[in-house]
């Protein structure tokens, strides 16, 4: 597959991960048993979110969106998919081709990615999809997927008031 396809594939994967991240939230079962802390249903707070533009102003809300989509997502992809995945295979990680599949390293990478997110089931699916995308289509495609997801999630948060995602 040519290099021109990496961006559209990344965007498509990012949209899929966004759907996988948002849709389960409508279920109380999911929110009770698949969000941290396990067994406690997140309840809407009467306190406004610190990221709500009514509280912090649009400049800080937009800064949060930009940071989430265009800083955090690429950094996580470089760390998890380019460095950690290959380092788990061999300490001289630069000698490992990014397209080489290793089940153990892949599962550890997904597990560790999952631990840093508050929705473990959605994070595991995202980590696996981003990882597969990086291996099959390259790091740029995985970065595009993660940027797309975080951008769409940020827009969802802002326009629907679903501040719990932030």
The Cα–Cα gap between 133 and 67 comes to 22
Q: How far apart are CA 163 and CA 34, in angstroms?
A: 18
Instruction: Give the phi and the psi of residue 42 in degrees, each rounded to 5.
Output: -60, 130
pLDDT in tens, 70-125: 999 999 999 999 999 999 999 999 999 999 999 999 999 999 999 999 888 899 99
Name the region of 161 (left: φ>0; alpha: ψ -120 to 50; beta: rest). left
> Could you state, in order of their start, the residue ranges of all structural domains in the chain?
3-21+50-165
Give mean pLDDT, residues 4-23. Answer: 94
Q: In this predicted structure, what is the pLDDT of residue 38?
A: 74
Between the CA atoms of 19, 25, 31 and 35, what dihedral angle is there, to the nearest 10 degrees? Answer: 40
- Tell me what pLDDT residue 36 has: 72
> What is the spatial distance between Cα 145 and Cα 73, in angstroms, rounded to a whole number?
9
On the question of pLDDT at 31 being above 80, the answer is: no
| pLDDT score recorded for residue 155 | 97
pTM comes to 0.90
**Residues 66, 125: Cα–Cα separation, whole Å:** 23
Please compute the mean of the pLDDT values over residues 22-43 and round it to a whole number. Answer: 74
Number of Cα atoms under 13 Å in the Cβ half of residue 75: 6
Return the half-sphere exposure (C-beta side, CA atoms, 13 A cut-off) of residue 11: 4
Percent of the chain with pLDDT over 70: 94
Give tens-digit pLDDT for 134-150: 999 999 999 999 999 99
- H or E element at residue 55: helix 53-56
In contact, 148 and 18? CB cutoff 8 Å: yes
């Amino acid at each position: 597959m040519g290099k021109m396809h990496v961006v559209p594939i990344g965007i498509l994967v990012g949209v899929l991960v966004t759907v996988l991240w948002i849709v389960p939230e409508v279920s109380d079962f999911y929110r009770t048993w698949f969000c941290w802390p396990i067994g406690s249903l997140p309840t809407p707070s009467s306190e406004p979110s610190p990221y709500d533009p009514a509280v912090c102003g649009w400049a800080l809300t937009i800064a949060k969106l930009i940071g989430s989509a265009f800083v955090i997502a690429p950094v996580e992809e470089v760390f998890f998919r380019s460095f950690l995945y290959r380092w788990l295979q061999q300490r001289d990680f630069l000698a490992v081709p990014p397209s080489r599949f290793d089940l153990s390293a892949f599962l550890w990478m997904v597990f560790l990615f999952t631990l840093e997110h508050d929705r473990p089931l959605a994070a595991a699916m995202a980590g696996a999809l981003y990882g597969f995308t990086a291996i099959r289509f390259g790091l740029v495609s995985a970065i595009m997927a993660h940027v797309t997801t975080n951008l769409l999630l940020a827009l969802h948060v802002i326009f629907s008031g679903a501040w719990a995602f932030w």
